[in-house]
Every structure is written in C-alpha cells, then in structure tokens.
Structure 1
C-alpha cells in the first residue's frame, strides 16, 4: 500500500488535484455542468492510480467534491439572483426537502461500502450521460405535480451520495416537466449549497474515526484537495466559458456525454469486474 505521508505521494496528489480542478473548471464553463460530475470520477481514478485504499477512496472523492461545491454554488447563486433567474417559490417549496435528503445521504455514507457508493454514482452518471446524448429532451408532463416535494428529497439524497450539486439531477427533472430552462439552471445553482452543506457535515461525521484516510482529512473531506481543486477551477472556468462561444455546443455536449459514460462504465467495472 502507498505511504500516504510520503513526500512523493503528496507531490503527485497535489499535482493531480490541481489538474482535476483545472479540467473541472474548463468543462463546467464549456458545458454549464456542475463540477462534481467531473470531479468525482477524476478523483476516483486519481485515488486508484495513487493506491489510496479502496475502502475509503469513493467516500473521499464524493465528500471532497461536495466541499468544493459550497463556495462555487454561493458565487453561482449570487450571479443567477442578479439575473432574476431563481424561482423563489420553487426554492422555498423544495429547500426543506433537499436539505433533509442531502443530510440523510451524508449520514447514510457511514453505512455504505465504497463499492456501494461507486455503484450508485456509476449507474446514475451513466443514465445522465445517455440523457445528454439523446437528440430530444424527455418530457414527462406539461408542469410539475402539485405535490413535488418528494422529488426534491430524492434529488438531495442521491446528489449527496454522488458528490454533485443540484444541477446534474434537478435540471433534467425540471425540464422534463417543461420548467423554463433558464429558471431551472438558476434555481439549481441554489440547490447546490443546500445539498453540499448538510451532506459535507454528514460525511465529516461518518468518516471522523475512519482509518486509511490521506493526511489532513476532516472526516472524509480532504481539506487540501478541496482547496486545490476549487482554486484551480475558479481560474479555468472563465476560459471554458469563452471557449464555449467559439466551439460547437452540440459536439461538446456529446463529447462530455461520452466522457461521463466511459467514466461511469469504468466505475461499474471496478465493482463488477473485480
């Protein structure tokens, strides 16, 4: 097993995390997706390459990703609020359920094996990649059900277990009910904070006494990793956004769907092919 305190390990880890943050920022700017859907699979592959114990690798990837979402979602929500794209009625209706669901997800991580978290991420991420690759949007109804709060609860639970913000799951769900896309994206930016804060607290609690973690981990959250990733993504996201104006968005969407699909299959292979 790799010495988690050796200088070589720490140097390789820092370099890999900065690269992860840079790539996540570029893709987030290019495609408008939350960083978590990029950060988790890349961290998973990085931890596997660096021989981080498999018992904690996925927990670390998910929790660290969630920690990076907190400052990102605050900045994003403020920007969307200035544009008037946050649906405050939906936010007030869904917020308690999202917070409850994400808290349940964070606490549940204590009782889930790393393989279970990997399986959850792999299956849902693969479904998201298929949805992104489809030429037409899936429409379930012309408006949200009159009682839609349980949907928010499920989004909170699975977003917490996957280490992602609100947009990856909530935007496709809202648009499937013909919710205006700009309002869906703007409101989802606030969901990220509501998901990340209680979920991070749950992952810190659940991993507090766990062995085999890399140094400087607060529960399952590796603090230096979160700082390095966020610091890099902040600088590269604007470059991704400027690239989006010059590149074909349809090809970019399909390219990301392929990346996400392959990453999710790699995760599923690690569970079933081992």
Structure 2
C-alpha cells in the first residue's frame, strides 16, 4: 500500500506555531509602541505647558481683563488676565450646547424612529456621516456667509454659537443614532404591547435608555468645539476684549483667540502667559469630560 509523501500534514508543525507566535508578539509590540508615541508626545506637551505656566495661573489671571503690557501680568503688577475670554467661551459653549441638543437629538430621533427605511433616508445618513469629516474652516466660511451676512447677525456671540453648532452637529447626530440603535427592540415591543403610543415609547423607554450615550457624545463634541479657532475667527471673534460679553448680539472673544493673541506677541514672557491660558482651557476641557463621565455613570446606575 503506497503512501503520498508529498501531501501536507493537517497539523501545523512546531516551527509554524512558533513563527505565528513570534509574528503575534511583534504585532502587539508595534501596537504598544504606536500607543506609547502618542502618550509620550502628550505627556511632553503637558509637561512643557505646566513648566511654562508655573506661577502664572493666579486668581488675578482668572478675574482680570488682558493687557498688552507684560508688567501687568507679573507679581506686583496692576493685574491682567483671561476673564473676558473665559466668560466668552463659557457663554459660547452654553449656547452651542442648547442648539446642538435640540437639533442633533431631534434629528437622530426622527431618522431612527420616524423616518421610513428608504434610499432617501440612507442618502441623508451618508451625507451626515461625510459632513463629520469636513474641515472646520469650511464651517467657518459657511457661518460667515449665512449667519454674519445673510441673517445680518454680525460678529456676535450667537453667530459664533450657531457656527460651532454646524461644526459638531453631524458628530452629535451620528453618536445619538448609535445610542438609539443600541436600545433593544424587545423594550420597544414590550411598551407597544401594553398600549403605549410611539411618542410614549420614545419618551419613556428609548430616550432614557439611550441618554448615557447621547449625553457623552454631545459633551465630547462640545469639548472639541470649545478649542476650535478657525470657525470663530471667520465669524469675526475678537482676539482680545477688555470687558466680558454682555449681549448675545454683541462682540465676543474666546480663550483660543486670546491664547493666539498672546502667543504672537514678541516678548518672551508672553509665552508664559499663553501657557497659562492653555492650562485654563485644558482645565475647562477636563471639567467637561468629567461631567460626561458623571452623567453616563448616573444614567447607567438609574437604568
């Protein structure tokens, strides 16, 4: 009885197993190094900002308007800081949050719960996903053309908020849709089974279950918006203001604009002031992210 010596064994040899394990370890090492590059770069950046801003973030810096004279920022000076830009950023992001929550969550609920499954709906969803990758300067030009000129809102706080709303609206819609899709259909059917209407199902069953994901996605999108410079630059935000914004239709400034103004000044000490502004901006960002984590945890424990 002849045997076929040329056929391969169905069992892998020890050398093949060792080679696959080696490839796997190399791949894991490459992934780890890729992650390490980002973490080290971020750590070095934060360390440099912390070093440059050490001793410059004071109570006077948070509560006084800016100045072009570096002596005002030094200890013993008359006092100068980031207060108008800080208040402007808070008001700007608060208005953006109001517009974004109503428009973004409303659009997501309509597309997921009310819109029929058709080619037109798929076309809309595909375009919303594509809009999430459009550069921010394009939204700035759109805000300039629509809100500043067509609606004649001028370089106002509400024009900046509406422009930032356009910027993050696709992101919020997509994240809200994913959160709504994650709600099991069995919960919807159970609510329909006890006689609830479609609106009652959405209000009492779907939205409470999807709220952790919706709020987390919304606040993370707002965290991106608060650091954007190009859109508010295009709608005419001031680089420096000496009074806090007092009207929705009045001029405004924001922390990214103020930091940019300090960074381009020739005196070396203004680099420390700019670093102090970056620390304040990062603190606000971290606070917003902490709120997102808290809201998500709170809603998850209530479900």
What is the TM-score when the length of structure 2 is the normalising length?
Answer: 0.26
- Tell which structure's C-alpha radius of gyration is larger: 2
**Higher relative CO (CA 8 A, sep ≥ 6), structure 1 or 2?**
1
User: Which structure has more helix as a fraction of its residues?
Assistant: 1
